[in-house]
Chains A and B, each alone.
Chain A
Amino acid sequence: MNVYGNIFVFFAAGLLFVFLVMALVKIVAPRRPNCEKNATYECGEKPVGSGWLNFNARFYLIAILFIIFDVELVLVFPVVVRFRDQLAGGNGAAAFLDIFLFAAVLFLGLVYAWKNGYLEWLRGVRKQLRVEGPITTLKDWMAEQSRARGDRNA
């Protein structure tokens, strides 16, 4: 058996282990479900409504923006570790240029997002609600709406 065979054995054993443990749990673990136990965990509070909520789609953009910094960190750190060797080998300038270009390309992505206003949370309120007017917070906009309806308490 060569080295890949060994890897296959490990893989198969690992895969088998998962199902073996799950089967063992089925046999050994006591199951006494009740309505309190099946309720959504809210740190002991009584849950209100379902745990399945709609999240604002704009969080998607934040996640995308995070990837810029994530990729940058993950790929710059190995270069930093090897940079001393490159410097000693006389390739310091080339290595620096490489990583500089890489970071610059990622930075362009950030500049693009910045320019389009994706970094500004409040700007999106009017845009998302598809109404005209200057930049305001959601609270101000709602107050404005209720004033328009003739709500005196707003």
Chain B
Amino acid sequence: MLERFNIVNRLSGDADLILTTVDEAVNLARANSLWYLLMGLACCSIELMQTGGPRADLDRFGSLFRATPRQSDLMIVAGTITLKMAPRLRRLYDQMAEPKYVIAMGSCANCGGPFDRSYSVLRGVDKIIPVDVYLPGCPPRPEALTEALMKVQEKIKKERYFLKKEA
């Protein structure tokens, strides 16, 4: 398992030559600079702030918040998506630069959560944007969000851009 995410394929133990594919180098760069959009919709965003703070510290995964979708790779949908917010959320997603990833954080973003029967709440963010990682919890702990980020990183590291078929 560890071998798979290790981009450096050494020829031998003491070789000076380091070989890798462009895909793996690009994936390493992308996975370790996942900048997320500074967007909190509801109470989950408090946990999102905690995760960005010094204790859970998302920075150590190369992840930090950007205040504009132009510079963001990751959208963490932290909270309840009301029907009024939904088109704005979609527009923010559209304005992000490729490649872009989405974490649906918390029950509300997954399926509507405690507001499932509400007249004004979207039942799951996956109805308007594609979601990469679903994170359960109400709200999820910062550790859980950290794991969700690592799941996204794992997903990125498996992607192929130049060599489309699985290596």
Contact = CB atoms under 8 A, between A and B. Distances in A.
A37 interface: yes
Contact of B98 (A32, A41, A43): A32
A41 B88 contact: no
A37 B88 contact: no
B98 A30 contact: yes
Contacts of A32: 98
B68 to A, nearest CB: 6
A39 interface: yes
Given A30-B98, A34-B94, A36-B95, A41 B26 contact: no
Interface string B23-34: 000100000000
A36 B95 CA distance: 6
Interface in B53-74: 68-70
Interface string B84-102: 0000110110110111000
A31 B26 CA distance: 16
A44 B26 contact: no
Grouping DSSP codes into helix (H, G, I), strand (E, B) and loop, the A interface class, with mixed when no group exceeds half, is: loop
Contact of A30 (B69, B88, B99): B99
A28 interface: yes
A28 B95 CA distance: 19
A36 B98 contact: no
Interface residues of B, number: 14
A51 to B, nearest CB: 13
Contacts of B92: 43-44
A46 interface: yes
Contacts of B69: 41
Contacts of A132: none
A36 B91 CA distance: 7
A41 B68 contact: yes
B80 to A, nearest CB: 15
Interface in A20-40: 28-32, 34, 36-37, 39
B95 A41 contact: yes
A151 interface: no
A30 B28 CA distance: 16
Contacts of A41: 68-70, 95
Interface of B: 26, 68-70, 88-89, 91-92, 94-95, 97-99, 161
14 contacts: A28-B26, A28-B161, A29-B98, A30-B99, A30-B161, A36-B91, A39-B91, A41-B68, A41-B70, A41-B95, A44-B88, A44-B91, A44-B92, A46-B91
Given A31-B98, A44-B92, 16 more contacts: A28-B26, A29-B97, A29-B98, A30-B99, A30-B161, A34-B94, A36-B91, A37-B94, A37-B95, A39-B95, A41-B68, A41-B69, A41-B95, A43-B88, A44-B88, A45-B91
Interface of A: 28-32, 34, 36-37, 39, 41, 43-46
Which 5 A-B pairs give the minimum distances between C-beta atoms?
A: A44-B88, A36-B94, A30-B98, A44-B92, A44-B91
